[in-house]
Every structure is written in C-alpha cells, then in structure tokens.
Structure 1
Amino acid sequence: MISESDVLRPDWSAPSRVRAFSTTRLGGVSQPPWQSLNLGGHVGDNPESVTQNRRRLAKFIGIEAGHIGWLNQVHGTHVLELTLERLKECPDADASFTREKGVACAILTADCLPVILADRNGEVVGAAHAGWRSLCGGVLENLIRAMAVEPSELIAWFGPSIGPANFEVGPEVRAAFVEQQEESASAFSEQGARSGHFIADIYELARLRLSRAGVSDIFGGGLCTVEDSERFYSYRRDGQTGRMATLVWLD
C-alpha cells in the first residue's frame, strides 16, 4: 500500500482545504520495468496493475477512484475544466482545473514538469503538464486564464522533474523560448552539453513564465527524476518506464 513516506507533499502557503502531492514510484504492484506504483495506462504495463495502483491512490487520498481526472496528455496547451459530469471522459488535454470539492486534477509525468496552482481563498485549483513543448506553447498561461483568478492571487508548486544537470536540448528549443521571452536565455547553458546543444533548467523556465504572467508565490523545484532512480520514474534515463502522478483537489 501507499504510505506517507511514498509521496511528496508541497511545502507552500496554500489554504488548508487545498490538498496536493506527487507520488513516487513506490507503493504499487507493477512489475519491472514499471515497478511499482505506475499510474500510466499508456506505457505497456499490465492494465490490471495500473487499475490496482489507481485504486490504491484513491484510497490513500480518500476520494473515489472515479473522481480523479486523468487526461490524455499530448504535449499541447489545451485546458479542461473538471466537473463530476466530465470525469468519465479522458480527453486530449495537458492541464485541468476545478472548483468542485472532491474532484482531483491529475498530471502524469516521468521527467516533464508537473505544476499545480491554487488560489489564496481555496476556491479553485489546477494542474499542468509542463514539458518543454507545452511550456513554450503557453500551457501555464492558458491555465491561469482559465482559472479566472487574478494571477497575483495564485500560488504555484513544482513537482519532481528532470533537473538542469541532465536536461540537454537542441538549439531550436533555446531559440523557441528566447524568442518569446529574452530572460529565458538565463535558463540555458552550454556547460556540460554536447557541441551545439544546451543544458536547460525547466524549473527556471517555468518560474519565468509564471512570473511574467503575474504569479509571484512559487514553491518547489530542485529535484531530479533522472538522478533519483529509487524514487522516480525517468523516461530519459530508462526509456520504457512508469508514470508518477501529481494531484491537487479541494477538500
């Protein structure tokens, strides 16, 4: 079963009725190479194992399994509002938000950056899958607009993602970000990268995008899914692997 030591909880200033955490790879039933708490149904794992893992997750957080809003993430920028009526869908989207109690926004990752948002009054929460394509495309800005709260009233937290020491990208990635926001250049370094490539800090890129949008209270970051194979899945490290979940909901 999932234990408290198997998850990461935000150290942030959100209201007490806002609940959130990221799973690790610990606490499930999946066999190698997906061991053990794989929550992704699209990575080749035994479907029954995924179902059991999702049931364990629902029991751990104390809500019905059908009240977790899983998305079919496509590295895009579409944002979905989650309601009880829409939870049976699994639409193409890379972010979701809700104002309904007991409905969880969920993002699956294995290197990409999961970002959660909550307003200071505890009335709306959201989550985004911020891989570099979605991040550069504006998924965070789209989520902020969809939540319809003044950005200064939002609080953000970063779940675990690939760290800056291991995220090598091509020059086209740097160019895409810098073209949109000159300050993004500070998140790229040639040191440690192959010739013509860059090491990117996706945490810093997300901070810059949120700050420009007006979100100033930003927490989390600093972990690396590639380096910590005991706790985290990493697609870049392992190729075939499982997916962790970052969830946020209103109690």
Structure 2
Amino acid sequence: MRVRRVVTTRAGGASRPPYDTFNLGDHVGDDAGDVYANRKRLATELGLAEDRLAWMEQVHGRTATVVDGSEASAAEATDALVTAEPGLALVVLVADCVPLLLADAEAGVVAAVHAGRVGARVGVVPAAIEAMRSVGAEPARTEALLGPAICGDCYEVPADMAADVEKHVPGSACKTRKGTPGLDLRAGLWRQLADLGVGKIGVDPRCTNEDKTLFSFRRDGTTGRIAGITWLDAS
C-alpha cells in the first residue's frame, strides 16, 4: 500500500488578508465560507471526497485518537490522528508548530501529529507511536516526516522555558542566530523518534518564520494555517 504525504503552502486559496490565501484553519478568525472553499479545494486537489479528510480540534495536548472515517466531525481535543483506513486523509494544521507525519506502510497505518512546544513537552509523539502500535504498526517499520516549522535560529524563548523543554525533549535547546536561548523542536523530536525506534526519519528544512510562502504565527500574529496531510492510497 502506498503512503501519500502532502504539505500545503499559503498560495492558491480564497481567503483574504491577513489569511491570504489558502488558509485551512477554521479557528483563527477567517471567514467560514473562505475556509470551506479552501478545504473543498484541498479535497479536490488530493482526489478525495470532502468527507475523506479527517480533522482534529488541536489543543496542545498529548491525546492520540484512532479514527476510521465514520466520525461525523473533527476529533475533539486531540493532537494526533491515527488510522488504518485506506483513503482516509489525516490533517494536521500548523503555523510554526511541527507537523509530524508517520507511516508504517507494511501494516497500513498512518498518523498525523501536532507537535508544538507544549505538545512535544507533554509527550504527544510517544502517544502517537503507541496508538499506531494499537492498530498493528511497529516503530522499526515506521517512517517519519518532520514538516515545516519555526527553526532554532528564529525560535527565541526564555532561558527557563528552553531548559524545561530540553529536560522533556532532549536535543531541543539551542541558541538563536542572535545568541539568545532558543528551541529547535525538530532536532529534539528527531532524537525522540530515534529513541522510540522509528526506522526512518526525514526533515523538511523550511522555516515557517523565514519562508513567506508559509504561515507563521510568530512572524505575523493573526494569520492562517498550512496543513500536513497523510493517507494510504490503495490504488
């Protein structure tokens, strides 16, 4: 079974400034009709029906939810979606946090994880791996993609915050390009995934704060959300 992965940009949608244009977040103040049009276009471009996109109410927690496509609405209060259902596309929305896409193609299991600073700190990634195990995946067969996120050069935080995250996700603390305390969440999550036994780990190096084709909350404040999407293509 083939695993598909897509990461959107901010171009090609209906939303108006400051959400211009392909905002997929329905919780950021954008016009609901514009968001609906963008989500409809996303499904069309992926070659999927609108009801084959699985969304989640992201809350910066560590809950991982297994879905099968029968759900009537977005999964409530969760930051990771897991499925073994072919053709069901899992969507994670970000604007600086790390979108993590996981797949065990042999088992036919995929996951989409919202791994921001808080979620990473409280263990959303181990929770997602365990949820994948519950439906037949194995870490050694799993491939991971750490998608576009704010980079360590840009992500300045207080020193005590950097130290706290480092304690929970070793490898995250860094210095920004200004020499101040910072966080490189993708570096810490890469190490965490390796420690969990994940067999193959890739990183999209784009920084949301630096790349104007992506949304960034740190850069713009009121802004839209890009998406990381993964699904199993049985065709």
Equivalent pairs counted in the alignment come to 230
Aligned to 2:160: 172
1:73-84 → structure 2 map (5 Å cutoff): 73-84=58-69
User: Could you tell me which amino acid in structure 1 is paired with residue 225 of structure 2?
Assistant: R
Aligned to 1:88: 73
Aligned to 1:42: 27
- Asked if residue 184 in structure 1 is aligned to residue 171 in structure 2, the reply is yes
Aligned to 1:128: 113
Partners of 1:203 and 1:221 within 8 A in 2: no
Aligned to 1:154: 142
Partners of 1:233 and 1:244 within 8 A in 2: yes
In structure 2, distance between residues paired with 1:18 and 1:90: 22
Aligned to 2:218: 236
In structure 1, distance between residues paired with 2:20 and 2:7: 16
- Match among 77, 82, 86 for residue 97 of structure 1: 82
User: Could you tell me which amino acid in structure 2 is paired with residue 36 of structure 1?
Assistant: T
In structure 1, distance between residues paired with 2:185 and 2:167: 16
Q: Residue 41 of structure 2 aligns to a residue in which SS? A: helix
Q: Give the % identical residues.
A: 37
Provide the TM-score with structure 1 as the length reference.
0.87
- Match among 33, 40, 56 for residue 41 of structure 2: 56
User: Could you tell me which amino acid in structure 1 is paired with residue 189 of structure 2?
Assistant: A
Aligned to 2:193: 210
Query: C-alpha offsets along residues 192-221 of structure 1, whole Å, 9 cap, x if unaligned?
Result: 244xxx122111011011111111411123
In structure 1, distance between residues paired with 2:161 and 2:198: 24
Query: C-alpha offsets along residues 77-136 of structure 1, whole Å, 9 cap, x if unaligned?
Result: 101111121252441110001000111110000010000000141600001001011011
Please provide the CA RMSD for this pair.
1.6
Q: Residue 28 of structure 1 aligns to a residue in which SS? A: coil
- Asked if residue 220 in structure 1 is aligned to residue 203 in structure 2, the reply is yes
Structure 2's unaligned 5+ residue stretches are none
Partners of 1:77 and 1:134 within 8 A in 2: yes
- Match among 17, 26, 31 for residue 16 of structure 2: 31
Provide the TM-score with structure 2 as the length reference.
0.93
Go from structure 1 to structure 2 and tell me whether the alpha carbon gap of 1:225 and 1:191 turns closer, same or farther (over 3 Å shift): closer
Partners of 2:64 and 2:124 within 8 A in 1: yes
Partners of 1:177 and 1:184 within 8 A in 2: no
Distance apart, 1:21 and its partner CA: 0.7
Partners of 2:99 and 2:113 within 8 A in 1: yes
In structure 2, distance between residues paired with 1:184 and 1:141: 16
In structure 1, distance between residues paired with 2:111 and 2:12: 25
User: Could you tell me which amino acid in structure 2 is paired with residue 100 of structure 1?
Assistant: E
Distance apart, 1:152 and its partner CA: 1.1
In structure 2, distance between residues paired with 1:48 and 1:169: 36
Aligned to 1:246: 228
Partners of 2:122 and 2:168 within 8 A in 1: no
Distance apart, 1:232 and its partner CA: 0.3
Partners of 1:114 and 1:129 within 8 A in 2: yes
